Amino acid sequence: MDAETLVVDCKYGQARGYRDGATYVWKGIPYAGSTAGDGRFRSPEAPEPWNGVLDCARYGPIAPQSPDGPIAITPDMTPGEDCLSLNIWAPEPDGELRPVLVWIHGGAYVLGYSGQKIYDGRHLCETGDVVVVTVNYRLGALGFLDLSSLSTADCTFESNLGLRDQIAALEWVRDCITAFGGDPTDVTLFGESSGGGSVTTLLTVPRAEGLFHRAIAQSPPATSVYGSERAATVAERFLEILDVPRVAVATLRSLPYEQLVAAGETLVGEIPTRVPGTLAMAPVVDRDLVPKYPVAAFQKGLSHRVPLIIGSNRDEPSIFRFMNSPLMPVDATAVHAMLEALASDRPDLDPERLAEIVAAYPDLPKASGAMALSRDAAFRMPVLWVAEAHARHSPTWVYRFDHATPILKATRLGAAHATELPYVFGNFGTLGRDPTFWLGGRKGASEVAGRVQRRWLAFARHGVPAALDGSRHWPPYEPGDRLTLLIDGRDTVVADPDREMRQVWGDRVMGFT
């Protein structure tokens, strides 16, 4: 054994990690068994203990997903159903237990993987003297398509499999992270986009209570959680795409996963085109694992009593317009279709209120107005609904990420969806020919990144996003003053910066129960 490797004993066996700068990293540790065969469409099972020393030099297989999606799959990554693994960055164990940060990646519940270069945990680990964990979980048709309505006496399909995977990973952290120098009683769960939506959902899932002690939700689509009736309709359409009759539903367990991924990809294109503003696959209110719509659970005071940081980016939809993605409505036609679908789905909603919302966006015929309404419906208002409710019983901080480099401003992308990620992880230049600094701005971005990381790390260690470097104090969000941190070249704290928008939308306009 040399200084470049480190073998630790955990609950399931010995694992060999490798030095990475001032840290050690273990990649591809299984936190659950394979989900192929009998495990497909079922809750994850505990991993089998392994014999000998597990070599953790490579990331594990990634969740099956479209190879043609906007998140590039690098050549060293292999898809497979034995994908439930996690990665750990930790200082060399010295007997001291350190705070743990567990990352849930985004990707609209259908894309992404923990081994993306932007999620490399070394910088956070070294900067904060913390343990960083990143997690793979099932995606798309294998993870967030609820087929439970198709269950028969001989073939059971379980719901919310991706969420069940995330819970299993948190249980593994609870049981095993001490061996890697992490404190299982000091866990911060954080995620972005659908990863942030997973965080807000898990904050209301009874089974997840006690598995994490702080939470950070970055751009969470908190209202993109759907009912069981809609899920059953989507399940039927999935069978149609596959040309599988309902009497033969058991064959879904034996079909090559590539066929399921391809059918899921068809759904991903169809659903938001037919009903703009909705996702094809997402968490479902199954009245079992997820007993209530998360926003309604927050508003009823049912979220877990843990400190929370939550926020969104100023220009969320611009990246979807740039990519010509159907995931967000970014023109007037699509936005009006979204509102019509909302009115049809929720006949109890006041049509005058919906008209008032539309009237509050005078630029709506233009793309700028459509994107503003879409941004507020998908991200900004859900963030405020969650924050307003959670702050009644637990410390809550709200941010808005406004920073954009000169090239992002010039291309009108601005502070688009996911542009805060390199600032959180400290990993710039992970996108190949990364254009981020083509017109300069690296020094300013590095300063912003330093502040973001110090706040996130202070929160993980102390439960308060303190700025120990003289940056502007970040007071908690309370319904009275609604103080919000605007993150830019200079951090500022503003009282209720979106007051007019918030008043127009109201507290419960979406009508979730």
Give the pLDDT confidence of 58-104 residue by residue, as tens digits: 999 999 999 988 888 999 999 999 999 999 999 998 999 999 999 99
Mean pLDDT estimate for the chain: 93
Q: Are 138 and 32 in contact (CB under 8 A)?
A: no
Structure tokens of 431? Answer: 């996108």
> What angle (nearest 5°) sits at the alpha carbon of residue 58, between those of residues 52 and 64?
110
Could you tell me the pLDDT band of residue 466, with boundaries at 50, 70 and 90? confident
Beta bridge partners of 400: 312, 486
Please write the tens of the pLDDT for every residue from 367-386.
899 999 999 999 999 999 99
220/201 Cα distance (integer angstroms) = 10
Please write the tens of the pLDDT for every residue from 179-236.
999 999 999 999 999 999 999 999 999 999 999 999 999 999 999 999 999 999 999 9
396's enclosing H/E stretch is: strand 396-401
Q: Are 456 and 471 in contact (CB under 8 A)?
A: no
- Length of the chain measured in residues: 513
Q: Report, as residue numbers or ranges, the catalytic residues.
A: 193, 316, 417
Query: Sign of torsion, CA 363 367 368 369?
Result: positive
